[in-house]
Amino acid sequence: MSTKKINPFEEMLKVLKRTADLLKLDSGTYEILSHPKEVLTVSLPVKMDNGSIKVFQGYRVHYNDARGPTKGGIRYHPNVNLDEVKALAAWMTWKTAVVNIPYGGAKGGITCNPKEMSERELEMLTRKYASAIAKFVGVDLDIPAPDVNTNPQTMAWFFDEYVKIKGEVLPGVITAKPLSIGGSQGRSYATGRGVFFTGLEALKTKNINVKGAKVSIQGYGNAGYYSAKFFHEAGAKIIAVSDSKGGAYSPDGMDPDKLLEFKKKTKTVKGFPGSDETDTRAPLFTECDIVIPAALEDQITSENVDKVKAKIVLEAANGPTTTEATQSLFERDILVVPDILANAGGVTVSYFEWVQNRQGYYWTEEEVDEKLRKIMTQAFRDVYQTSQEYKVDMRTGAYLVAVKRVVEAMKARGWI
């Protein structure tokens, strides 16, 4: 097995090149699409709890803003590097275009290990980062949000520092904030809700009724739990779930809330009463109607794709199915609903939060839910129709929809 590290930016360019060829884009247009518009690298000195000074590396990338201000999360992780941030910013460009919200794509990150840092050190780091990139973000320029190892509290610190620098309260500069400072209803479970709405549309294409449909889920964090909860409430059976320590299988179905309660007590879903114990990857290969990979990237690969027995693969995680495995599933008539469509509920409700911040008027949970349903349903239909038209898989279909929309905006603005 090769130990060569995959460069995420090069992987993104491979898919982009194939899409550009299908759309018959000229070389100049492809050149613009394959480079980020702006890259900011910053050094962040932080006084640590032991009195020493440590300098952290931070990044913010604006990939493409043809369709509107850029949007993308901030991640704190030891492996954060510029190529990763560039790839994530590009994916955000395609994700916002797929769901047709008026944003471009951006991403930010700091190379650090937040698990080895105190809350005070993380707050200082966040405030330093907010100060360093303050001129690079703004309500009509670039709107950050949480990502890996960041959360509403991180956003609140960033927001507070930004307000001090600007001298005005501008809640729309960052999203997924706590409700007390301008967050939106429905944001905490938006990713799982979006997965559910696209899953309903996917079931229709296979003529399967959601009532009694068998659902299997790898990963039981926020996206996995809420996906399970919404499918269960609609009458589907959650027959298999897993987390990093193992899994649970029950052909009669399991209650997502009881599973979560059990996981909180024991730190794993493994051993859930009335279920058979399995390993972490078992849900991916369980016979079912829908499998939801909601854990890590590269889970379904060319090595194990033959073991997939689902009719639909609904990607709640980022990049859980490799390009080769996607093609193999497509040839077997297994529908893959790609990450840039399936998990776009989070960025869509972040957009709603920004709109509410701009107008100073806040919506009810029901209003947010109805608006999200409309956007996710329409996005699925756009991608499905395009994939049928070009006779390609849904991942390629999603890129075709997104890139076409970005290119139209670039033409309108006279870039090409």
Report d(CA 2, CA 141) in Å as an integer.
41
Quote helix, strand, coil % in the chain, to nearest 5.
50, 20, 35
Amino acid at 389: E
The CA distance from 17 to 116, in Å, is 40
**Residues 6+ positions from 381 with CB-CB distance below 8 Å:** 201
Q: What does the alpha-carbon distance between residue 32 and residue 36 come to, in Å, rounded to a whole number?
A: 8
To the query of whether residue 107 is one of the catalytic residues in this protein, the response is yes
Q: How far apart are CA 343 and CA 108, in angstroms?
A: 19
What is the rounded distance in angstroms from the CA atom of residue 300 to the CA atom of residue 323?
10
Other CB atoms within 10 Å distance of the CB of residue 39: 15
The DSSP H or E segment spanning 58 is strand 53-64
- Asked whether the beta carbons of 270 and 246 are under 8 A apart, the reply is yes
Which of 107, 128, 237, 311 is the catalytic position?
107
Q: Is 206 exposed, middle or buried (0-12, 13-18, 19+ CB in 10 A)?
A: middle
For helices 119-133 and 152-166, the axis angle rounded to 10 degrees is 50
What is d(CA 102, CA 69) in angstroms, rounded to the nearest whole number? 8
**What 3-state class would DSSP assign to 319?**
coil
Angle at 74 between CA 69 and CA 80, to 5 degrees: 125
Q: What residues act catalytically?
A: 107
